[in-house]
Amino acid sequence: MSLRISESLDVIGPYRNNFSVGRKMCLLAVVGVLAVVCERVASQRFPPGFQFGAATSAYQIEGGWNVSDKGESIWDRMVHSRPDLIYDHSNADVACDSYHLWEEDLRLVQEMGLDFYRFSISWPRLLPNGFSNKVSEDGRRYYSAVIDGLRARGVAPVLTLYHWDLPQRLQDLGGWTNPLIVEWFADYARVAFSLFADRVHTWITINEPGSVCDVAYRGFLAPGLRDHEVGALLCTKHVLLAHARAYRVYQEEFKPKYHGEVSIAYQECWFEPKTDQDLEITLLTREYLFGRYSHPIFSAAGGWPPALERYMADKSKKEGYPRSRLPAFTPDEIQLLKGSFDFYGLNHYTSRVVRGAAPGEPLAFISQGVEEVRAALETRPRWGTATSSWLKVNPEGLRHLLKLIKQQYGDVKILITENGYSDTGDQLEDRDRVNYYKDYLEQVLLAITEDAVRVVGYTAWSLLDNFEWAAGYTSRFGLYSVDFSSPRRPRAARASARYYAGVLRARGPHADTTRNTTA
């Protein structure tokens, strides 16, 4: 089915301008321009008010999985019942033990000079039954202590309500495929706002809805279900509506008093067509993986991306379904979703090249392509590779993506909520990670100064080595290493921690790293 590119001119520009395969370029001119740009970036600083932070999530660092009255989460259930789904058969029962060592974590946050620290609430730690009829005093006390500790150190807390640890009781009732979860999440958000909104002024409702639905419903993440044809799309609708209801709760009940900001955080790759003939499939792939989550909230029209909606309706009909597998929004739901943001939260790590798949070509999700739209995903030989094989290093992709977001959704304020690099083991001289941060920060700076993209902050993932989901402890993203073999879980600063602390002092990517950050 045609994507009707003539109706999608707003998203063609960045692809045409940067990746038209047939365009001839003068090498000497390019080298000259790059030299000027590099010299300019080296001398520039991020604008006044730009904020730097680091991030973690509750399940990945807290441990204390059954302390006090905490309820069971879908991750607790999966790692205990199906350890074979985790690469090293590990779990996060203790993880970094941040439930007990949170003051040590805050010491590192202060030591680096971070402007903010992004972390998440464990839904079943705060609401042990999943429902708002019982609030855990232990959970309330724990998160209050972390928030107060950050503020006492001059660091702003940025709080995520949902970073994948759904209460198992709610999963048993259908989880994100049950439409009632929209109100269950709104109830949970209201409790969190009531307890913490007087001290937290930046909120993220849901981290990476695409991971929550598309990856989890292909069995790669908890709850480990496999139903991407229907389950993932039901999940998409309800996750978006849950976000919007939580946003409206804050706007109506809390914003007049506390004046905070609320949004959602997307994980987005930069996609570029392999050839000019692959532009249409590239746009459809982007709409399926990313526009499905951002268009209903950030576009002026609201609702599903029109080209994707048509494609899914036509495909579902050919498959024999009586209606589209992409569930429709009601007019009221479209209005509820539209404009439910105060900033654009962006998690970005990597890039991909897109081409149309050959007939019968196998497309394993993530590694090879997107079966739903028959798109094959590849990489460029020049892109570097982190320990995580999916993470291909292409710093320019972040700048292209930032420009595309501005072109699609206007002069929206963008907070980069995650960006980072994985390696393995406990090595402290992590020069590849330092180079990754420097190169990606340079591209953020160029997006601000050259492209006038309104990026207001940057978040390094992650403050600590942690339980990295299906990879267990084999993949390390931390600015600080954690010795998981020791009951004390000692932290140690890597070279990247010293570099990032230097960035904060210099307010630019070309940082002085001669001053030590100790652990």
Alpha carbon distances (Å) from 447 to 296, 366, 398, 456: 25, 27, 9, 11
Q: Do the beta carbons of residue 86 and residue 472 sit within 8 Å?
A: yes
> What DSSP string runs through 205-247?
EEE-HHIIIIITTBTSSTT--B-TTTHHHHHHHHHHHHHHHHH
Phi, psi of 170 (to 5 degrees): -70, -35
Distance of alpha carbon 518 from alpha carbon 169, whole angstroms: 42
For the chain, the distance separating the N- and C-terminal CA atoms, rounded to the nearest angstrom, is 57
Distance CA 180, CA 248 (A): 17
> 62, 104, 208, 468: which is the annotated catalytic residue?
208
- Tell whether the torsion through CA atoms of 238, 244, 246 and 248 is positive or negative: negative
Q: What is the rounded radius of gyration, in angstroms, for the C-alpha atoms of the chain? A: 22
344-363 as b/e, with b when 16 or more CB fall inside 10 Å? bbbbbbbbbbbbbbeeeeeb
- Residue tagged active-site, from 309, 418, 442, 468: 418
Which SS3 state, helix, strand or coil, does residue 412 take?
A: coil
Q: Could you say which DSSP state residue 291 is in?
A: I
Q: Are 344 and 264 spatial neighbours (Cβ–Cβ below 8 Å)?
A: no
Catalytic-residue membership of 418: yes
Lookup: tokens for 385? 């590779």
φ, ψ of residue 205 to 5 degrees: the values are: -70, -55
Name the token pair of 473: 């402890």
Does residue 111 have an active-site annotation?
no
Which residue type is seen at 505? Answer: R
The answer to whether 380 touches 419, Cβ cutoff 8 Å, is: no
The structure tokens listed for 305 are 């991306």
C-alpha distance from residue 70 to each of 75, 124, 129, 135 (Å): 13, 6, 9, 10
Torsional sign, CA 198, 202, 207, 209: positive
Pick the closest to residue 512 from 213, 500, 98 (CA basis). Answer: 500
**DSSP calls for 336-351:** HHTT--SSEEEE---E
Distance (Å, whole) CA 161 – CA 126 = 11
Closest residue by Cα to residue 143 from 76, 261, 58, 54: 58
What is the distance between the alpha carbons of residues 229 and 417, in angstroms, rounded to a whole number? 29
* Contact predicate 198/261, CB 8 Å: no
Active site residues: 208, 418
